[in-house]
Amino acid sequence: MNVALQVRDLRVTYPGPPSVRALDGVDLNVVRGECLGLLGESGSGKSTLARVVLGLATGARVEGALQLGDQELGTLDEAGWRRIRWTRLALAMQSTAALNPVLRIVDQVAEPLRVHLGHSRGEARERALATLASLGLGRAEAERFPLELSGGQQRLAVLAVAVVCEPEILLLDEPTAGLDAVTRDQVVAFLRSLRERRGTTIVVLGHDVEALHALADRVGVLYRGWLAEIGPAARVLGDPRHPYSRGLLDARPTLATIKELRGIRGRRPDPALVSPGCPFYGRCTQSVSECMEIRPALEPPAGERDSRLISCIRGGVLLLLEARGLRKSYGGVHALDDVGVEVRHGEVLGVVGPTGAGKSTLALLLANLLVQDAGTVTFDGHRLNGKPSQDLRRRLQLVFQNPFEALSPRLTVLAAVREPLEVQRAASRDEATKLVRRALDSCRLPSDDAFLGRHTHELSGGELQRVALARALVLEPQLVVLDEPVAMLDPSEQAELLQLLKAIQVERGMAMVLVSHDLATVLRVADSVVVLAAGRVVERGSGTQILTAPRHAVTRALLAASGAGALFHQQAHSNDQEAQS
Amino acid sequence: MQGEPTTDASGSPAASHVRSVQRRRVGAPVAFYGATAFLVVSIVFLLPRAMPGDPLLARVDSSDTLFVIDDEGRDRFRAYYGLDEPLLAQYRNYLGSIARGDLGWSIGRSAPVRELIAAHLPWTLLLVGTALALSALIGFFAGIAAAWRRGRAGDRLLLVTLTGTRAMPEYVLGTLLLILLAVVVPAFPLAGARTPFAVHESAVAAVIDVAYHLVLPATALTLGLLGGKFLLVRNTAISALGQDYMELARAKGLPERLLKYRHAGRNALLPFLTVLGIQTGFAVGGAVFVETIFGYPGMGTLILRALDERDYPVLEGSFLVLAGCVLLVNLAVDLTYGRLDPRARAS
Amino acid sequence: MSAVAARLRGRERRAGAFRGGPALWLGAGVIAAFALVALAAPALRPYGVHAIAGDQLSAPSRAHLLGTNAVGQDLLSQMLSGTRSSLLVALLAGGGTLLVGTLVGAVAGWLGGLTDALLMRVVDVFLVVPRIPLVIVIAAYAGSSLATVSAIIALTSWPAGARVVRSQVLSLRGRAHLRAAVGFGARTLYVLRRHIVPELGLILAAGFVAAAERAIVLEAGLAFLGLGDPTRKSWGSIMRDALDFEFLFFTDAWAWWLLSPVAALAALLLGLAFVGVGLERHISPRVARHAGGAA
């Protein structure tokens, strides 16, 4: 394997005050001829990486090893850098202010040719014009000044400047950000042809996942100056394994997602702080105490043998709840037959199906309130067998369908919500009241004494369901199973509750299993969906897949029932009309 | 030059002058300067006539102290100013004279003003031209050098020194130079543009003589003009250094020389050009003072003597000619600017 | 005159409040010193300004701390009188420049449209015409009393300041609280007075310093050319007297006669320059130095 650029434990600190650790131990090997994509939001250190590799990070303290082929880059002086720059390593910057406003485009493109390759004025000009032409910028544009071109054209010009000396390695900082679709395709096509014709090694830094799909062989994910995951592009982008990658890729708005966007909880961390442990600790939903102390190294995730590497002490996104081969019958009736589901940390699984499909049974089994005839349910690595520990009970909760029944009518709100705490002996009376208030707050219920003193029969259905939810939340569970939570509510209350569920789920990074007969409800909230019919799983997939490409008849019926028919009806109708005419 | 505008490219008078230059693009520079010239001539016409105790009439009033005794002179004075005619006729006559190039008759020297100015103007042009050129060159290169060494000793020193000289008027600078280099250390002549009564063997020797006499006055004027240019170039270059294109230029591996002059310097060039235009006015004013200190036979000396004698035609004529020169230079700068500024061309 | 002192000391206090560094304090101190001298001049003056008090061209001595000139007048007395003149002009002309410039700039910026275009054309014209020759011609006609000279300076120096004020006003115009005032029915002058001018405070302060500098230079220059107030001796006219004396450089007299006014001018101007630069550091450096007729 021919390595074009090698980065070992690169640490870059900008002195303050306050000092900022822009890169925090990055290990990277860029193979000759490949296209490596580095995915990162702002603050991830990707711009710093681009600059350090070109020796432009003035004022920063750079530690670690950087090697370009055989050449050590750490020991270079300015003259040494000049020899390398542009002929071996070139950068296409993100900003359009990268073009000098008082010099013509063609002159700026020709300049490095004259300086580095010793071309004469005429030769350099011709070459520059040719390069610009290959990017779609004609002679007229070339002769102009940067301000006379549109934003997209300026970007293309910056690209032309970068490639004109045919460098070994080309670094691109957000090459497609802010470009319209046509120009973006142009850029992608150009870069592809560059690789084919000259075998240029390309490194793309940015957050345009579509472009990376089209271009990159490998993709790495940067977070706070540290590599969270790196591997073949299809794998990393299609099925990210690191909690951060998953969150990031889930968060981007595309037409493909119809569920609401799920951001990554927590705030972006203060760049001045350097943590000894995993940088993602504070926002990760599956972190344990070791994560705070130990910095994970890049390793293949559990169960994979190919070249993907991730940095996670727990080996990547974990399954929180896993059910396999569940079987349950009542009398002679098979309620469930060979059902399996998977719920990852922080994710929402929707379970849909017509009445009698076995949804409630499944919910009870998953919440370990019923014992299965066959099959296994594993929660966070522990087998559930009907006699789970207190601890497991705490972490896994269920919200029932009928709030009127789920809460004892004799109890006040306070007593009802406090019950789990009492059972678990988790808190003193006073503390418990505080926790109750907090739980009610997060369910957007009043938490004053008056409300606490009310009896459950005085509340409406929506309020009751929220009290039930508060009760489930007061123990701070990791996963909540909700069985038809909105079925018995008025439409306005339904909307409120769904919104609430979504908000809580993001806030707490809680995983959920949402059981419902209504696909519309489920699709709003769920990351992945399982369709049950007559006790079996007939279809599973992401929400988008279910909506746009349903395979099973039951799924289609469910779609129709929830009004999806109206969406597609127009389409079908006009198709028919076209067919007729 | 004390008190004249400077600082960075986006800084006040320089930048707003730039913007007004761009505004004028629409109205055409020629029209603007033409109108200004006309306005100036009219103001000069109105000024004495608007003063309380009409100074012009005073000179032909036998009871006044300023009475012109010489008959011929008094008649010419009367004719030139049209003192017997109604105002509008005076105005027409005046404009006519100016258009013909007749600037009147000097009372004190008994000669046509035009001739006097023709004899004195070249020396002023030499002085001003030299000073502008020198201050431009030094200011530009020093400015860029300072920007590159920003914050370090060299920059600080230049900054302090030139801020100081900027605050000093030319007559202070001139006097100090005179004392230091012509009196204390008699290295240069005290006065004059040429050694009096000298006969030179060759043209070269004559030129050297002129240059020798030019050194001190030109230095005084150059020092006065230097500060403003230096600061402008320095500040423009510094702000250019902070821009992304400078980073890209460095990333391209370009040698320092290209970075300084092609990329940063070129950005400073346009504001620099406009400052050149603005400074011409100041240079002319400063030259008046410098010439009086060094006895340099230019317009300054002419004006000084005319002031003594209240020789109004000479004073007016000098002002008109000097103003005309400055307007011409500014017009040229405006037109050149229009050709060079890509932003102006873009719109 | 106590108002003058108060204003100058107030200026010093303002300057001192900023982190201008030692240069700022030095500059402010120099200005304060000159101000005190100006105030006390009548008391400090040993002889009359025009009185022939001693031998001609005598070197500095106990009786004549700065020596005498070719006529035998005491130079110290003349210099003290000159201090007074210079500072008076600085205040009058500087203040006048600032006043006119601010008014024009504010009106142009606030009203916009045709008024603005017209006023800015006028400003352009002023800035292009060479100032010294113009002022010379005007002074030749109008006479050169202190008041007249101050008026001439103010009337020819205001344009640059107007530009700066205008651009500030333009940027202030869009602010919500101004719109609100207009919404209540406030008229132009009210808005200018109540909202705009107070915001300009610091810029005007810097502008005043620059205007004062300019005024002192111009006044001394005019006096130097013989256009000073004949009843007063200003530093410029002392220089003129000295240089008019044919044999000045054949004696040593230049050392006290010529150098005194030159040194005084240099010191006062440097002081103002340092204060100006110090203020500049606290305002947007683009705007600071030019709000007061520095062109």
Q: Return the H-helix or E-strand segment holding A7.
A: strand A3-14
The Cα C160–Cα C131 span in angstroms is: 12
| B56 within 8 A of B315, measured Cβ to Cβ | no
- pLDDT value for B10: 35
- The mean pLDDT of B263-290, rounded to a whole number, is 88
Question: Which among B244, B255, B270 has CB closest to A97?
Answer: B244
Among A536-540, B79-83, B248-252, the least confident range: B79-83
Query: Strand A333-344 relative to strand A319-330: parallel, antiparallel, unpaired?
Result: antiparallel
Below-70 pLDDT ranges, chain A: 1, 250-269, 271, 386, 388, 564-581
Assign A78 to helix, strand or coil: helix
B337 pLDDT higher than 50: yes
Reduce the DSSP state of residue B272 to 3 states and report it.
helix
CA distances from C184 to A197, C23, C169, C176, C178 (A): 70, 47, 20, 12, 10
Q: Is A484 exposed, middle or buried (0-12, 13-18, 19+ CB in 10 A)?
A: buried
Q: Which residues have a Cβ under 8 Å from the Cβ of A579 and sit 6 or more positions away?
A: none
Query: pLDDT, tens digit, for every residue of C87-117?
Result: 888 899 999 999 999 889 888 888 888 888 8
A380 to A317, A319, A327, A377, B91: CA distances (angstroms): 12, 7, 21, 10, 103
Q: What six digits make up the tokens of B220?
A: 């005084």
CA separation for the pair B194, A495 (Å, rounded): 98
Binned at pLDDT 50, 70 and 90, residue B21 comes out as low
- Interatomic CA distance for residues B138 and B144, integer angstroms: 10
Distance CA B250, CA A58 (A): 11
Which residue from A90, A97, A161 is facing B243, i.e. has the nearest CB? A97
Cβ-based contacts of B280 with chain C (< 8 Å): 130
Using one digit for the tens of pLDDT, what is the confidence trace for B88-104? Answer: 888 888 888 888 888 88
CA distance A405 to C42: 103
C222 touches C28 (CB < 8 A): no
> HEC profile for chain C?
CHHHHHHHHHHHHHHHHCCCCHHHHHHHHHHHHHHHHHHHHHHHCCCCCCCECCCCCCCCCCCCCCCECCCCEEHHHHHHHHHHHHHHHHHHHHHHHHHHHHHHHHHHHHHCHHHHHHHHHHHHHHHHCCHHHHHHHHHHHHCCCHHHHHHHHHHHHHHHHHHHHHHHHHHHHCCHHHHHHHHCCCCHHHHHHHHHHHHHHHHHHHHHHHHHHHHHHHHHHHHHCCCCCCCCCCHHHHHHHHHHCCCHHHCCCHHHHCHHHHHHHHHHHHHHHHHHHHHHCCCCHHHHCCCCCCC
- Given a cut of 50, whether residue C13 has pLDDT beyond it is no
Least-confidence region, from B104-108, B208-212, C172-176 = C172-176
Nearest to A42 by CA among A221, A206, A246: A206
Specify the range with the lowest mean pLDDT, choosing from A362-376, C171-185, C232-246: C171-185
Q: Tell me what pLDDT residue A565 has.
A: 54
Residue-level pLDDT at A265: 67
Identify the band that residue C22 occupies on the pLDDT scale cut at 50, 70 and 90.
confident
Three-state DSSP class for residue B184: helix
Between chain C and chain B, are at least 3 CB pairs below 8 A? yes
- pLDDT for B18 equals 56
Would an 8 Å CB–CB cutoff place A115 in contact with chain B? yes
C-alpha A226/C-alpha A208 separation (Å) is 19
The chain-wide mean pLDDT, for chain B, equals 82
pLDDT of residue B22: 55
Q: How far is CA B339 from the centre of its chain?
A: 24
- Tally of CA atoms within 13 A in the half-sphere of C14 that contains its CB: 19
ipTM of predicted complex: 0.84
Residue-averaged pLDDT of chain C: 79
Measured between CB atoms, does A114 come within 8 Å of chain B? Answer: no
Check: CB of residue A175 under 8 Å from CB of residue A159.
yes
Give the per-residue pLDDT at B131.
95
Query: What pLDDT is attached to residue C4?
Result: 44
Answer yes or no: do A93 and B244 touch at CB < 8 A: yes
- Contact criterion met (CB below 8 Å) for A460 and A497: no
Q: Among B245, B253, B267, whose Cβ lies nearest the Cβ of A85? A: B253
The residue of A68, A83, A88, A102 whose CB has the most chain B CBs within 10 angstroms, and thus the best one to mutate to test that interface, is A102
Task: Enumerate the H helices of A389-448 as residue ranges.
Answer: 390-395, 403-406, 413-424, 429-442
Q: What is the pLDDT of residue A96?
A: 77
How far is Cα A477 from Cα C282, in angstroms, rounded to an integer? 56
> What is the helix (H) or strand (E) element at residue A540, kind and residue range?
strand A536-542
Task: Say which of B252, B266, B267 has its CB closest to residue A85.
Answer: B252
Q: Give residue B5's pLDDT.
A: 42
- Structure-token pair, residue B268: 């400073």
CA distances from A396 to A368, A441, A487, C47 (A): 9, 21, 22, 103
pLDDT at B225 (0 to 100): 92
Long-range contacts, stretch B334-340, CB < 8 angstroms, 24+ apart = B334/B21, B334/B24, B334/B29, B334/B32, B334/B33, B334/B277, B335/B29, B336/B273, B337/B18, B337/B21, B337/B270, B337/B273, B337/B274, B338/B21, B338/B25, B338/B29, B340/B269, B340/B270, B340/B273
Amino acid, single-letter form, for residue A109:
V
Question: Does C294 have pLDDT greater than 60?
Answer: no
> Are C239 and B282 an interchain contact pair (Cβ–Cβ within 8 Å)?
no
Q: Which residues of A touch B270 (CB under 8 A)?
A: 102
Q: What is the pLDDT of residue A219?
A: 93
CA–CA min distance C186, chain B (Å): 30
Instruction: Give me the pLDDT at residue A564, please.
Output: 62
DSSP string, A12-76: EEE--SSPEEEEEEEEEEEETT-EEEEE--TTSSHHHHHHHHTT--TT-EEEEEEEETTEESTT-
Distance from CA of C144 to the nearest CA of B (A): 12
Considering only the beta carbons, identify the residue of B11, B55, B322 that sits closest to C141: B55
pLDDT of residue B345: 57
- Specify the pLDDT at position A290: 81
Sheet with A61-68, side-by-side order of all strands = A20-31, A3-14, A61-68, A71-72
Q: What is the pLDDT of residues B33-44, one digit of tens each?
A: 888 898 899 888
Structural contact between residues B297 and B120, judged by C-beta atoms closer than 8 angstroms: yes
pLDDT for B218 equals 93
| Distance to chain A for B153, nearest Cα, Å | 19
Closest CA to A160 of A87, A82, A92, A89: A92
Chain B residues within 8 A of A161 when measuring between CB atoms: 248, 252
Q: What is the pLDDT of residues B26-35, one digit of tens each?
A: 457 888 888 8
